[in-house]
Amino acid sequence: MFVRRDIPWSWTFYYAWPSLLYFAIVSSAVYGLRRTVDTVDLEIPFEPVLIMGTALAIFLGFKNNEAYSRWWEARTIWGLGVNYSRAWARQVLTLLAAEFRSVPSPIRSTRSR
């Protein structure tokens, strides 16, 4: 899992160059064959592209929904922690004895900000 937001291009190129080289060679061979042998008629049927595109859209939709659900769950858990800590600090300040309330403390100075 990548934690950093900035991934250097050198890492991307280092891991992707074999695939890039392979597809560049295959694409050049197909292009050269098409230019030299004019009898080859390359045609891509529409149905497989349509089916794969639909499947990819559904897959990405579910992955996006799953990521949003994880983010929302983390947000609610973080919010619960913040709310509980605020409630605890409020209870501590309320339950302090009167003589301790007049003494400056880090909690009171943080609360007054």
Half-sphere exposure of 90 (CA within 13 A, CB side): 6
- pLDDT at residue 111 above 80? no
- pLDDT at residue 6 above 60? yes
- What is the predicted pLDDT for the residue at 113? 56
- pLDDT at residue 37 above 60? yes
- What is the predicted pLDDT for the residue at 43? 81
> Greater confidence, 69 or 107?
69
- What is the predicted pLDDT for the residue at 112? 60
- What is the predicted pLDDT for the residue at 95? 80
Place of tokens 């890039």: 20
- What is the predicted pLDDT for the residue at 75? 95
- What is the predicted pLDDT for the residue at 35? 83
Under 8 Å CB-to-CB from 108, ≥6 apart: which residues? 93, 101
